[in-house]
Amino acid sequence: MQIRQIAAQQNIPDRYLEQLLATLRRAGLVRSQRGARGGYLLARDPWKITLYDIVSCIEGFDTQADTEKQPSTAEGLVISDVWQEVRQAAETVLQKCTLQDLLERRNARQQLDIMYYI
Amino acid sequence: MQIRQIAAQQNIPDRYLEQLLATLRRAGLVRSQRGARGGYLLARDPWKITLYDIVSCIEGFDTQADTEKQPSTAEGLVISDVWQEVRQAAETVLQKCTLQDLLERRNARQQLDIMYYI
DNA sequence: TGCAAACCCCAGTGGAGAACCGGAGTATAC
DNA sequence: GTATACTCCGGTTCTCCACTGGGGTTTGCA
């Protein structure tokens, strides 16, 4: 798909989407075809890409981001540990969720909507 | 304890800490004693206060914060759902963690440090 | 071959929210 | 009565994210 199409469908400024896709490309999640009739395509199958891959890529997940600036008191270290657990819990949720899952969920929801409409 | 003591120990500007404590007080998590020899104390026992109480109080957890601005497309709703799951996972971790737990962890860590020091 | 359409890179802007002062006021132990 | 604490409120940075702009380079196609 081309940036313009995605931007129009999802209502995102195309210049901004361009940056996001460039980041995803550098992380090897999508591939790009330059030139006229170019565009983007997924680098892997939809069930082999998790939300964790995407999120950790565009929002650079420094696992130790807060550890560095803590004065390493006993309290600070304990707090860091808990935050680490929270982050871990969130990450496992994202890791279990693939693009394929999202797609299926969307289709299921659309089916539901149609039934309600009838 | 008095604001000054906490601020000095944790290396936080006292005027800022004052605001945070005021928020906690309004949420009923701490009580305050005014006047000379005044200060703050926990409103409940340490094992009856969870990290979730604290975090959701000072950083007002709008459960539906992102739902309102999504154009409610099928995609947007699915994304909201996943985010809701992530948030839920993080919250359960915080809900399981009481101040008493943190205290015990800190003490355990301090014991460890002493042993290493020997 | 020319050119338009697409991707590519980099630098900067704007706004929202968190972190952080400052001043003036009020309650209370001593 | 007074010093010491909390209390309220407004303003000031500071940082991060969403977003914009102006240049490229690559490539399909007439």
**In tens digits, what is the pLDDT along chain B, a chain of 118 residues?**
999 999 998 889 999 999 999 999 999 999 999 988 899 999 999 999 999 999 998 887 666 555 556 667 888 889 989 999 999 999 999 999 999 999 999 999 989 889 988 8
Please report, rounded to whole angstroms, the spatial distance between the CA atom of protein residue B47 and the C1' atom of nucleotide D3.
36
A22 pLDDT exceeds 70?
Answer: yes
* A94–B86 CB contact, under 8 Å: yes
Phi, psi of A112 (to 5 degrees): -55, -45
pLDDT at res. A112: 87
Tell me which range, A46-55, A73-82, B107-116, is most confidently predicted by mean pLDDT: A46-55
Structure tokens, B87: 């948030």
How far is CA B116 from each of CA B105, B107, B109, B110, B112, rounded to the nearest angstrom? Answer: 17, 14, 11, 10, 6
Map out the domains of chain B as residue ranges: 1-43, 46-118
Residue of B77 and A63 predicted with greater confidence: B77
Centroid of chain to Cα A6: 15
Q: Which residues on chain A are in Cβ contact (under 8 Å) with B97?
A: 82
CB B13 within 8 A of CB B4: no
Closest-CA residue to B54 (of B11, B76, B21): B21
Q: What is the nearest CA distance from A16 to chain B, expressed in angstroms? A: 18
Gyration radius of chain B's alpha carbons:
19
pTM here is 0.85
Q: Which two tokens stand for residue B114?
A: 């002493």
For all residues of chain A together, what is the average pLDDT?
89
Nearest to B82 among A11, A97, A110 (CB): A97
Q: Give how far A36 is from chain B: nearest CA, Å.
A: 29
Q: What is the CATH number of domain B1-43?
A: 1.10.10.10
